[in-house]
Amino acid sequence: MLQVLDPPAVRRWSRLAAENLGRAREEIDALNVFPVPDGDTGTNLHLTMLAAAEALDGLPGDADAATTWRTLAQGALLGARGNSGVIVSQALRGLAEVLRNAEGRGDDLGRGLVRAAELARGAVERPVEGTVLSVLGAVAAAMRDLRGDLASVVRRAAEEARAAVRRTTGQLDVLARNGVVDAGGAGLAIILESLAAVVTDSYTGRPDVPARQAAPQGAADPAGDVPPRGDAAGRGPAYEVMYLLEAGAAAVDALRAELDALGDSLVVVGGEGLWNVHVHVDDAGAAIEAGMRAGRPYRIKVEYLVGSDRTHRAAGGRGVVAVAAGTALGAVFERSGAVVVRRDPGASPPLAAVLAAIREAGAEVVVLPNDSGTREVAAAAAEIAREEGLAVSVLPTRASVQGLSALAVHDPLRRFDDDVVAMTEAAAHTRHGHVWVADRAVMTSAGLIGPGEVLGVIDGDAAMIGTDLTEIALELVGRMVSSSSELVTLLEGADAPGGLAQAVQDRLARVRPDIEVVRYEGGQGGYPLLVGVE
């Protein structure tokens, strides 16, 4: 029997909790009717705890308590799934706050469980009783005046959790109507019972999940819960949106208010610049764009919620969506058969516009962002479209000339996967460059460039600085072509001086007559000439 909860014990606990949740996953899923009856709470809790256990597996064997608890909390934060998983990850963060700097005795664990309940409840914008929060609250209440060794504290915590789970049926109408206990609370009880097993060295085998209870006489038997702010027809939000977010605390406070106005079941957990965001909304794009305004969202995940009828089905067939900066450049892509989303120079297009274009393009869609900053928006739109049943692949095109190269080999008669591979290879084998006339002083990797000077950029890196636009354009293309080059694509910008592209074409005709040159009026602002070399 353990006297302190040391790092090896924390590892054993995380692994046992993950295993027990895995064994009980289907039974917990069957209890899941709140906040939506999507039957995945057991799965989400299992995956959340498994992520924490696997994070600990990556530590050296002699890792200290501070490192162990910090890693446990971070692993759960990064791997949290679903409403209950996100809440439990915040509870683990509360435990870690206390126990990373403590000996791990009974009183320390009691204080940690109190902090766990505080942080978890604080992360939920609109707490509801009869949920995992109620179970955490009951455990915390039992801990506040409890004194004893580690074994007695952990036993009491597990017992209180189990009792609190059974009380949830009478605390939340939807649970009573369906004759079940709260699924998230049942999962938390298993986590605490796993901790008691490690501390007391008493392993009972398969965890006990509370049985379904008979619904009260005369109760309705609905398909599931009506979310707190569903519409008049009793239908809740269409999407569950989750993402990790790099942002400051002030920006996250503003994000909470914005997301709370958009939907419900809002939970934001984390700290120190990294957050896990979960919300149920009708407009998934708006929830993601709110995250983009707050900071950098990634690992974006969008899922339809049970009972939603807001599906969008595109017509069959294969299509390509291309993002273009400017009208003329968009026309180039349109002539090549793409559905075009236009954006302003230096800005990303609205997520809703990209999503609408994907829906218009077909049932199998390749998206060409054609800009590094647009890729996140394209990826988020693709995630939503996939949940609607569309097959969508976002290619890593960083420049318009790469998008044109990919589109040139597009073949709708090929298998979708084969077409994506061919288009990706074409884009990857296309070098891209541009010239820019500076309107301000800028320090680059090629040196300081002053207003009016010309910068040549190759594959995203500053390559040369000069004063003559034509000379820099000629030098840029000369560096980009190689002995194996076969095609050069030139896109003339809206402000390109007359004869710029022609001068480049004439030079290539003299020194490399074997290379084919294609010229387009791109009409892009800011860059007099865009260059692609294949």
Cα(469)–Cα(269) distance, integer angstroms: 51
Which of 344, 332, 322, 320 has its CA nearest to residue 491? 332
Q: What is the mean pLDDT of the chain?
A: 87
| Cα distance between residue 281 and residue 12, in whole Å | 38
Between CA 210 and CA 153, with CA 193 as vertex, the angle to 5 degrees is 125
pLDDT tens-digit series, residues 331-343? 889 988 899 999 8
- In the CATH scheme, what architecture does the domain 239-304 have? 2-Layer Sandwich (3.30)
Q: In the predicted model, is pLDDT for residue 309 greater than 60?
A: no
Q: Which two tokens stand for residue 189?
A: 């009880």
Model pTM above 0.95: no
Mean pLDDT of 295-304: 85
Note the pLDDT of residue 220: 34
**Region 403-414: what's the mean pLDDT?**
90
What DSSP assignment string belongs to 1-38? --SS--HHHHHHHHHHHHHHHHHHHHHHHHH--SS---
CA 93 to chain centre: 20
pLDDT computed for residue 222 by the predictor: 30
pLDDT in tens, 121-156: 999 989 999 999 999 999 999 998 888 899 999 999
Q: Point out the least confidently predicted range of 65-69, 129-133, 494-498.
A: 494-498
Decide if 427 contacts 322 (C-beta within 8 A).
no
What average pLDDT score do residues 346-367 get?
A: 88
267-280 residue pLDDT tens: 999 988 999 999 99
In the chain, % of residues over pLDDT 90: 60
Bridge partners for 208 per DSSP: none
H runs (alpha helix) in 150-304: 150-167, 173-178, 183-200, 249-262, 284-294
Pairing relation of β-strands 431-437 and 454-458?
A: antiparallel
How much is the average pLDDT of 226-236? 42
The domain ranges of the chain are 7-200, 239-304, 318-428, 431-533
**Residue 302 pLDDT exceeds 90:** no
- Which range has the worst mean pLDDT, 142-156, 415-429, 512-526? 512-526
Torsion of CA 313, 319, 324, 330, to 10 degrees: -110
How is residue 82 written in tokens? 């679903």
pLDDT for residue 213: 52
Give 166's pLDDT tier (boundaries 50, 70, 90).
very high
Helix, strand, coil tally for the chain in percent (to 5): 50, 20, 35
37-41, 251-255, 320-324: least confident range? 37-41
Q: What's the pLDDT score for residue 316?
A: 65
* Homologous superfamily of domain range 7-200: DhaL domain (1.25.40.340)
* Cα dist from 247 to 330, 335, 533, whole Å: 34, 41, 38
Are 76 and 51 a contacting pair, CB within 8 Å? yes
**431-533 is classed CATH 3.30.1180:** yes
Query: Domain 318-428 carries which CATH code?
Result: 3.40.50.510
DSSP class of residue 124 equals B
Q: What confidence score (pLDDT) does residue 234 get?
A: 43
Checking if the pLDDT of 483 tops 60, the result is yes
Q: Read off the pLDDT of each residue in 430-443 and give the average, rounded to a whole number.
A: 91
| pLDDT band at 235; cut points 50, 70, 90 | low
Q: What is the mean predicted confidence (pLDDT) over 514-527?
A: 87
Predicted pLDDT at 312: 45
Q: How many CB atoms lie within 10 A of CB 472?
A: 23
pLDDT, tens only, 97-122? 999 999 999 999 999 999 999 999 99
Comparison of pLDDT for 448 and 39, the residue scoring more? 448
| Reported confidence tier of residue 405, pLDDT bands at 50, 70, 90 | very high
Residue 248 has pLDDT above 90, yes or no: yes
- Indicate the pLDDT class of residue 205, thresholds 50, 70 and 90: low
**pLDDT at residue 471, rounded to an integer:** 94
Q: How many residues does the chain have?
A: 534
CA angle centred on 174, ends 208 and 157, rounded to 5°: 35
